[in-house]
Amino acid sequence: MSENDTRSKVDDAISKVNEMGSRAEDAFRDFKESEAAEKLSEGIKRGARTAAEGVAKGAKIAAGGIAAGTKIASDTIRSNAEANAKKRASRKAAPFDQQSAFRTEGDDNKPIFRLRNGVVIPPIGYGTYLATEKGGKDVIRDALNQGYRYLDTARFYENEADIGEAVRESGIRREELFICSKVWPTMLGAEKLKESFEASCESLGTDYLNMYLIHWPKAGQSDEEWIPKLRESWTVMEDLYKEGRIRAIGLSNFLPHHIRPLLETARIRPMLDQLELHVGYMQEFTLRYLKHEKIMAQSWSPLGRAKMLEDDRIRSLAEKYGKSGAQILLRYLIQRGIPAIPKASTPERMRANMDIFDFSLTADEISYLSCIPEAGWSGEHPDLVEWG
């Protein structure tokens, strides 16, 4: 094929393409002017309008839902806030409460301490150690006359018979009293503990004790069998508890490393640990441990063997509140969430030790007293004592 023939065919092809394009333009122009095009346009417009209305309606519904949800959330938040405010208003725990898990009743000034099993511990009990050496049962009678209903004793004190006689002569019903005794560490072991418990009940003139404690974890530091003896004794106490002969079981002078071996085998956990606790000797590590294990701490020697009564820091607060040093020291413990068993030999001091519920120390004063360096310690430590 010659070059001229090729060019001629290309020109014809271009001409046909141009003609087809022209026809397409005419057809499109005719369609735009036709009824079908008008209907298509209207359909598109109507579809767009319907879609727009649907979007608007959906947005309105969504906005209403959001508004309703926001109102419900707001009402719920307000309701919860009001409920929490009421809860806070009804709580009766004092600042720096170390045993808040046990404080369930009473007002801020006079709380009631309740053990894990529901047994109530009066905030102030009467400590009878050495109390009857001179006055015998008359001292116990004085304490009862001053309003004490919690009497703390031990087999080692050798005054259970005096207490029992004073209680019988008082005419006070047994169920009105809270009597606690303790087994001496030389009497640990199943048979010895049973013997000691029954002897305490007989001397006190009662068939049950409100609380029974193991006085010290061991009799001496060379006793390598103290853990088996402890566990064996605790098993007997658990049985007496289940029989109703003891209403609460616990410990005295036990530190965390003495309690842990017991918890490994105990069926019933100790409910209380009676410790030397007072301003100047608060054993904070042990208190934290007891709180974690939900074991109530109780204070013996709350006045630091009377050594803290003459402390200038205590005297200053006593003057501020018009109270005695003993009342300041006891009030401090109560606000720390720790019941106490002070000793007193005269009716006046007995009464004063109970009169601590008409004032409160400030949070800063609690902090100040909690940070006093060691003072007033008795010198008795469970890892140092030798009881034979």
Is the distance from CB of 350 to CB of 344 less than 8 angstroms?
yes
CB 282 within 8 A of CB 245: no
> CB-based contacts of 12: which residues, under 8 Å, 6+ apart?
none
Whether the Cβ atoms of residue 229 and residue 189 lie closer than 8 Å to each other: yes
Task: For residues 272 and 286, give the distance between their C-alpha atoms in angstroms, rounded to a whole number.
Answer: 13
Instruction: Output b/e per residue, 135-153; b: 16+ Cβ within 10 A.
Output: eebebbbbbbebebebbbb
Residue 175 DSSP one-character state: G
In 3D space, the residue among 328, 314, 339 whose CA is nearest the CA of residue 97 turns out to be 339
Find where tokens 């333009």 sit: 25
Q: Tell me the sheet residues that pair with 281.
A: 278
Cα 218 to its chain centre, rounded Å, is 29
Q: How far, in Å, are 13, 135, 310, 351, 382 from residue 198 at the CA level?
A: 128, 26, 41, 32, 26
Q: Which of 126, 148, 150, 157 is catalytic?
A: 157
| Range list of H helices, the chain | 3-32, 35-90, 132-135, 137-145, 160-170, 190-204, 226-243, 256-263, 284-292, 312-321, 325-335, 347-354, 363-370
**150 in active site:** no
Contacts of 121 (CB under 8 A, 6+ apart): 113, 114, 115, 150, 178, 211, 272, 296, 298, 339
Residue whose token pair is 């519904």: 61
What are the residue numbers of the active site? 157
